[in-house]
Chains A and B, each alone.
Chain A
Amino acid sequence: MVEVKDNLKAPEGPASDVEGIKERSDYLRGTLKEVMLDRISAGIPEDDNRLMKHHGSYLQDDRDVRAERQKQKLEPAYQFMLRVRLPGGVATPEQWLVMDELSEKYGNGTLKLTTRQTFQIHGILKWNMKSTIQGINQALMDTIAACGDVNRNVMSTSNPHQSEIHAEVYEWGKKLSDDLLPRTRAYHEIWLDEEKVAGTPDVEVEPMYGPLYLPRKFKIGMAIPPENDVDVFSQDLGYIAIVEDGKLVGFNVAIGGGMGMTHGDKNTYPQLAKVIGFCTPEQVYDVAEKVITIQRDYGNRSVRKYARFKYTVDRLGLENVKLELENRLGWQFEEAKPYSFDHNGDRYGWVKGLKGNWHFTLFVQGGRIADFDGYPLKTGLREIAKVHTGDFRLTANQNLIIGSVSKQKKKKITELLEKYGLTDGKHHSALRRSSIACVSLPTCGLAMAEAERYLPKLIDKIEDIVEENGLRDKEITIRMTGCPNGCARHALGEIGFIGKAPGKYNMYLGAAFDGSRLSKMYRENIGEEEILRELGSIIPRYAKERNDGEHFGDFVIRAGIIEATTDGTNFHA
C-alpha cells in the first residue's frame, strides 16, 4: 500500500469529462466495436474517439473541405489517423514495406515520420481501420497506446556513430515500451477479433495504470550524449545514457518536461525535465513504473490542460517528488554523472559504424514520405526496402536513417539513392535541414494555422536572407507547430513558431542548440511579412556579430534581442 503524504495531494475539483469516459469505458472498450460498424457516418461519437486514442488513432477530418462539404449537405470528410508504436523508431525493411503498402491501400498514399520516431498513416476510412490495424499487427508492430492517457512511444537516440551503445539503449527502451503497455485486452478484442475473457477483477486488469489510466499523456525518451536528437528534456521522463570505457553503465534520470501549453493561459507553459540522479540499466523499468504511479496518484484529473506530469512536479516540488519516488522505489538515486550534449539535430549522409556497417541519414522534409513532383521519395525508399538487409531508423527530427548497411550492400543502396535522386540534403540550406513541422492542417483537429505545408515555403524566403549573409551552411534549428500543443517541440527550436490563426504565428527565439534551454516569445501574432522583417534584421547581426562557434540561440540572448528563459515557470515572463 502506498501511504499518502500530507504534502502530496492531487488537486481538488470535479473530475474532467474524459475521466468519466474512461471510467465508464470498461477498460477502453466503450462502444467502439459497435460504432465502427455503423455505415451512416464515417465518424464516431466523441466519447468513443476519446477512447480511440488509446488504441493509437484519432478521428480527424479534411479541414480544407469542411465548410464546402457542410454546404453540400455532406458530413465532414472524416478519416482516421493511425499511429504505430515503434520503440526507438526502428523498423525492419519488411515492416517498412508493410507500412508503405497499407498507406497506399487504406491511407492517403503518404506516410508521416513523426517527431516521436514513428509512422503515422492519415486518411483511413472507418471501414478500413480494422484491416489496417491487422496488417500492422501481422508485421509484428502495433498501435496500442500510441496516443491517449498512457505512456507513449518510447524514444531513443538514432545514433549511427556508436552502434553498440545504440543497440543496447534501444533494447532497454523497447523493453520499457512493452512493459508499460496497458494490460486490457480491449485492443485485441476490437481490432484483432480476440474473444472476450469473462470476469477478471479490475485491479488485475491494470495493476499499474488502474481503471482511469493516467490524467494525461506520458512521454519517455532516452538520449545518448553528445546527441540530444530526442530532446530528452522535453520528456515527462528522460534517460541520459552514461557511457564509461565504451560500456553503458546506466542513465541519468530527468523528470517533468513537456512542450504543450494553452494560448492565453500563463499557468500553462513548456518545461524542461530536470536531472534528479543516476540509475543502472536494470533499474530503468522500476523508475518508470514508480514515476508513472506518482503521476497516476497526484496528477490533476480535474483540468486536463494542467494535467501533464510537469505541472505535478512543479506543484509538489522537485525534491518532494524525488523523495516520494525513492520512497516508492525503496532505494535512493546515485548522484547524476557528468554528460554533455552538442546538438539536437541530425547528421546527414553516409556514416561508418563500429562493426564496419554503414548508415545513411536521409533528409525528409516535414517527415512526409510521398512521391513528390520530380522527387519519387516513396518509390525510391520502397525499392531500397526491397533489397535492404539492415534496418530503418526514424529519427526524432522526422528524418530517416537507412541503417546497418553492410559493405557489400552499400554499393547497391547508393545506386538506388542516386537513381531516385534521394540525397543527404546537402543541396538544401543547413536551416532547412534543421527544420521540423508538425502535421497541422488539413487533418489535425487542433491546428490553428498551417505548419507542414507552410514551413518549407517560409524557409524558401528565409533562405534568401541566410544566403545573403553567408550562413547557408550554418545550422539553425527552426520549428513550427500549428497549435500550442507542441508536437514539433517549438519551444526548443532556436527559431520557433506557434500557430495562432490562419497566417498568424507567435515567434520564439533563444532556445539552446543542444536542447538545454527553452525559447521565449519574441513577437506575438505576426504574419509572414513581419516574420521576414524581423529575421531580416536579426540574421545579418548574427552573421556579423557572433562569436566563434556561437549558436544562433545563444547569440540572440547575448545580443540582448531576447531574454533567456531559465525555467518553464518564467517562459512567459
Chain B
Amino acid sequence: MQLQVMNSPFSQEQAELLNKILPTLTESQKVWLSGYLAAIQAAPATAVSESASVALSVEASKPISKEVTILFGSQTGNAQRLATKAGKTLESNGFQVTVSSMSDFKPNNLKKLQNLLIVASTHGEGEPPDNALSFHEFLHSKRAPKLDELNYAVLSLGDSSYEFFCQTGKEFDERLKELGGKSLTERVDCDLDYDEPAAEWIESVLAALGQAGTAASQAHAGAVVQVTPEESIYSRTNPFRAEVLENLNLNGRGSNKETRHLELSLEGSGLTYQPGDSLGIYPENDPELVENILAEMNWNADDQITINKQGEVRTLKDALLTNFEITVLTKPLVEQAAKLSVNQELQELVKPENAEKVREYIHGRDLLDLLRDFGPWTASSQEIVSILRKLPARLYSIASSYSANPEEVHLTIGAVRYDSHGRERKGVCSILTAERLQAGDTLPIFIQHNPNFKLPENSATPIIMVGPGTGVAPFRSFMQEREENGAEGKSWMFFGDQHFVTDFLYQTEWQNWLKDGVLTKMDVAFSRDTNEKVYVQHRMLEQSQELYAWLQEGAVVYICGDEKHMAHDVHQTLITIIEKEGSMGREEAEGYLATMQKEKRYQRDVY
C-alpha cells in the first residue's frame, strides 16, 4: 500500500519519505522496526526521546567496570523476566551481569559477591517459590556468611490480597541486612500491577550503582534494548487481541463443574510459546456487578475518569469494566477507603489493632460490599476509583502445543462461582469465558514464558505428570508436543476430578494417546464416585514401587493444579514413596526430592 495524506496520519513530506524507505526494507528489518516503534510506545514516557540514539551508542563504547549478580526466585516466570530485564539494562550501562535462578546459584559463592540484586515472588501463604527454597533456607541458616562487603537490593513481587504480601522479598531484605549487607536502594514491593514500580526500582538501582563509584553512564536505555528482531511486537504491556475460535464446556451434563476449553487464534501476532508456558488474559469485569456498583453509589456511568498517571480518560463505566479490580478487597484498599468515608465502623476497623478483623472482612467480599457497608462516602467517583488496583491479567497454563497447533493457543479454564455473604460471586475471567465470550470475539492476551515448567531437553527422559482438574492443561500440551516430535520417552499421567462420567477432562484424547503409545500409563481418581474419597495421591501410592523405579530411571515429575491441598498432599506422598521404596529415612527422602528439585526433575505449576 502506498501511504498518502488521505489514508495515513502522515504529512505529504513524511508519506513520501516513508514510501521511499518502506519498499527497501527486508522482512526482518520490518519486524525489527515495528517492534522498535511499539516498544517506544510501551516504555515510560520519559525514556522515549533519548532512547534511540543513547541505547545504541552506549553499548559499544562503555568498558566493563563492575560485576553485578542478579538472583531470582520465580514460580510463574514474572520474577525471572524482571531479573533478565534488569540484567539487560545494567549490561547496556556497562555492567558485567550474571543472572541466575537461586536454585542454580552455589551459596558458597555468596561471600565473593559485591553487588547482589534479588528479584523474588511470594507464593501461597508467604512461601518462597520452588526454585528459591534451598537458597532461602541457606541464607536463614547458621551457615550463612557475614556479608559486610555486599551491596544489595531487593525487588519483591506479590499480591496484596494475600495476608503475607511480598513476604519472601521482605525476608530476603531483612536477612541480608542482618548479615551486614548495605542496601543500594529501598526494597520495592510490587502488587499484581508490577510494571511501573519494577521499572522505577531498576532505575534506582542503576542510579545507586552509578553513585557507588562506577563509570557507568547515567543514561538509561529503558525497555528498548529488549526488543530483538525475532520477538513478537506483542507483550504483556502491548497485548494482542486474539480471536476466539472455540469455547466449549468440557464437563458433561449433570456435572457440578464447568470447565471451559478455549481456543484462540494467534494468527498475525508472531506470538509463539513452549509447552509449560502460560497465557495472560486481560478480562473485563462482570457488567452486572458494574451496574450494581453504579446504582449503589448513584454514580453517573458517563462521568469522565482519569485512569492512570499518564492522564488517560475513560467513562466511569468503562473504567470499572476494563481498568480496575472490583472483585477483590485488599488491606491497603480498605485503609485508603477509610479516608474517603466518615463511617465510624470503618474508621474503627482500620485501626492497627484490628488488622485481624480487616483480614476477616475482606475475605469473600468485593468493592460493592465495601461501598454498601461503609457509607456515607464523602469522596467523588474519581477519588474512589483512584484507590482501586488495576485489573490484573489472569494467567492460565497453556493446554496446547504450538507445533501441533500452529498459530493457536488452547486453555482450560475452571468456571469459578460461589456464594459468599449472601451473594453469588463470579470469577472475573472464567465467568467472562463461561457466560459472555463467543466464537469470533477477541481477548487481549500475551504469552508468559515459564522456564520453570519445561519438558526435559532429552525427549527420551521419562516423565510423570500429576494434573487433576484444570491442572491437566499443561500435560495436554506436553502430550501434543511429544506426539508431534515422536518423542520416545515413557510418560505416566495421573488425573483426578469429581466424577468419571462428567469430569474426565479431554478423556478421548487421553484414550487415544494411550492407544497410540504416546502415553505409556494413566491412572485416574474420581473422588465422588465412591464412598471413600480417592485422589491422585492414592493412585500414586498404590503404585509406589513402579513410580519409584521411574524416579530411579531419571523420570521428571511435574505437578500442576491446586496448591493448597493437592500439591501439598502429592508432595508428601512423593516423600512417602521415596521413603518406603528407597528404604530411606524421612529426612533422606526429603533430601532426595530436594535434589530432584535442584536438578529440575521436580517441577511445579501450582496455584
Contacts and interface: CB of A to CB of B under 8 A. Distances in A.
Contact of A69 (B252, B261, B523, B524): B252
A41 B511 CA distance: 8
Interface-central residue, A40, A69, A125, by most chain B CB under 10 Å: A40
Residue in A65, A70, A74 whose Cβ sees the most chain B Cβ within 10 Å: A74
B264 to A, nearest CB: 17
Interface stretch (B16-24, B32-40, B147-155, B498-506): B498-506
Nearest to B500: A42
Contact of B523 (A39, A71, A72, A73): A39
A42 B501 contact: yes
Interface residues of B, number: 23
A125 B501 contact: yes
Interface in B507-528: 507-511, 514, 522-524
A509 B118 CA distance: 89
B343 interface: no
Interface string A56-92: 0000000001001111111101000000000000000
A41 B508 CA distance: 9
Most A CB contacts (10 A, CB to CB) among B502, B508, B522 go to B508
A40 B508 CA distance: 10
B524 A74 contact: no
Interface in B444-482: none
B508 A39 contact: no
A127 interface: yes
A516 to B, nearest CB: 46
B511 A75 contact: yes
Interface in B133-159: none
Given A74-B504, A75-B508, A125-B500, A68 B529 contact: no
A40 B252 contact: no
B479 to A, nearest CB: 13
Contacts of A68: 252-253
B251 interface: yes
Interface residue range, chain A: 10 to 19
Most buried by B among A42, A65, A72, A127: A72
A71 B248 contact: yes
B249 A40 contact: no
B250 interface: yes
Contacts of A71: 248
Nearest to B514: A40
Contacts, number: 46
Contacts of B504: 74-75
A75 B514 CA distance: 14
A319 B571 CA distance: 78
Interface in B233-266: 248-253, 261
Contact of B250 (A40, A73, A125): A73
A464 B250 CA distance: 45
B508 A74 contact: yes
Contacts of B522: 40
Contact of B510 (A40, A42, A65): A40
Given A39-B524, A42-B500, A127-B529, A73 B509 contact: yes
B501 A72 contact: no
A443 to B, nearest CB: 14
Interface in A273-292: none
Given A42-B501, A125-B501, A73 B253 contact: no
A61 to B, nearest CB: 11
B362 to A, nearest CB: 37
Contact of B507 (A65, A74, A125, A127): A74
Contacts of A77: 252, 501
A420 to B, nearest CB: 28
Contacts of A75: 504, 507-508, 511
Nearest to A128: B529
Contacts of B506: 73
A121 to B, nearest CB: 17
A65 B504 CA distance: 15
A42 B511 CA distance: 11
Contact of A40 (B261, B501, B505, B511): B511
Contacts of B505: 73
A45 to B, nearest CB: 11
Interface in B526-563: 529
Contacts of B248: 71-72
A52 B242 CA distance: 50
A365 to B, nearest CB: 25
Interface in B261-302: 261
6 contacts: A39-B524, A42-B501, A65-B253, A72-B252, A74-B502, A75-B511
Given A73-B509, A75-B511, 9 more contacts: A39-B524, A42-B501, A65-B252, A68-B253, A72-B251, A74-B252, A74-B507, A75-B508, A77-B501
The list of the 9 closest CB pairs from A to B, nearest first, reads A73-B506, A74-B507, A73-B508, A74-B252, A39-B524, A75-B507, A72-B250, A75-B508, A69-B252
